């Protein structure tokens, strides 16, 4: 908690106290109050009690230790790619994905004055999503733990030569002046979040919905192993919407794949595909089935 800038601490403490009183209603997020993840929590679950956490690990730990009923974590952005290394964090947490949420992202420049500015503080994702604006104005991007935390830091520093890039609500929370709005490079800038809980949803409970299923797998270390593994889904007509590789350990021989598919266990074609995948793989670990929040394709 005390890693947050001073202007954010009072809000963090107040929100943490509310969450502690009703942990089942709490939804943990990474960042200071006013971050996009805070917005996502409120929009995904309007009756929830958002719980600010300094890091992604802190947010997951809050759920695993019962201080929050769920966590909402950004995993990918339409402009700038991967946000959180959920494929590393989630398997170790013991949590399951129980939902997803898509949040349109708009970035606002805020400061204690009108500029000109020499540096802009924000999360690396936000800096990457506003590169054209920063370059056009000769502003040096400086990474910070989260967008709203950057706004609180700029308020704390009270330096007229620096600004923050954060959601508009952060300017209101921390008493900053709005200098420019909608400075993102793309008007359709969107971040996908996943919702995590201690208990997985029963795939059968999703029978009346279009479902997504997320899992990780490690292929056998033989020629064409990935080709054969992916063929499991092609031959059974299962739509794979995400496939991302990452290394397991330092040998660089064991490649893991983080995968999203449309469908759920219990659907015959999905069951056949997963059975064939298991035959072609060293390991398949299910991370959760959940309702599709937005159509793919």
Active site residues: 191, 193
What is the C-alpha to C-alpha distance for residues 145 and 129, in angstroms, rounded to an integer?
16
Question: E strands, the chain, where?
Answer: 26-30, 49-53, 70-77, 81-82, 96-104, 108-111, 119-122, 140-143, 162-166, 177-181, 190-197, 211-219, 240-247, 255-262, 281-291
What is the C-alpha to C-alpha distance for residues 8 and 215, in angstroms, rounded to an integer?
36
Length of the chain: 297
Ordered alpha helix ranges (H), 24-145: 36-44, 56-64, 86-93, 124-129, 131-136
What is the C-alpha to C-alpha distance for residues 275 and 168, in angstroms, rounded to an integer?
48
Which 3 state secondary structure label does DSSP give 60? helix
What is the C-alpha to C-alpha distance for residues 186 and 163, in angstroms, rounded to an integer?
21
Query: Any residues with CB less than 8 A from the CB of 277 and at least 6 apart, and which?
Result: 217, 229, 232, 233, 284
Contact between residue 23 and residue 68 where contact means Cβ atoms under 8 Å apart: yes
């Amino acid at each position: 908690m005390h890693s947050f800038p001073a202007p954010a601490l009072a809000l963090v403490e107040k929100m943490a106290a509310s969450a502690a009183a009703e942990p089942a209603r709490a939804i943990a997020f990474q960042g200071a109050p006013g971050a996009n993840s805070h917005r996502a929590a409120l929009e995904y679950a309007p009756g929830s009690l958002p719980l600010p956490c300094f890091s992604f690990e802190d947010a997951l730990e809050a759920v695993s230790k019962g201080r929050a009923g769920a966590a909402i974590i950004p995993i990918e952005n339409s402009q700038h790619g991967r946000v959180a290394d959920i494929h590393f964090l989630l398997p170790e947490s013991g949590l399951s994905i129980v939902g997803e949420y898509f949040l349109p992202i708009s970035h606002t420049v805020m400061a204690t004055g009108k500029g000109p500015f020499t540096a802009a503080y924000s999360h690396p994702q936000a800096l990457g999503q506003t590169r054209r604006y920063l370059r056009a104005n000769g502003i040096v991007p400086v990474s910070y733990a989260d967008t709203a935390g950057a706004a609180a830091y700029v308020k704390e520093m009270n330096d007229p030569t620096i600004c923050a890039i954060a959601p508009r609500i952060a300017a209101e929370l921390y008493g900053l002046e709005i200098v420019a709005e909608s400075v993102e490079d793309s008007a359709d800038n969107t971040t996908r979040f996943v919702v995590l809980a201690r208990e997985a949803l029963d795939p059968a409970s999703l029978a009346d919905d279009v479902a997504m299923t997320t899992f990780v797998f490690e292929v056998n270390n033989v020629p064409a192993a990935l080709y054969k593994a992916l063929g499991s889904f092609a031959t059974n007509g299962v739509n794979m919407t995400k496939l991302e590789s990452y290394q397991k350990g330092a040998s660089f021989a064991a490649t893991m794949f983080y995968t999203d598919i449309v469908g759920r266990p219990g659907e015959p074609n999905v069951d056949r595909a997963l059975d064939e995948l298991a035959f072609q793989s060293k390991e398949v670990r299910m991370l959760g089935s959940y309702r599709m929040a937005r159509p793919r394709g």
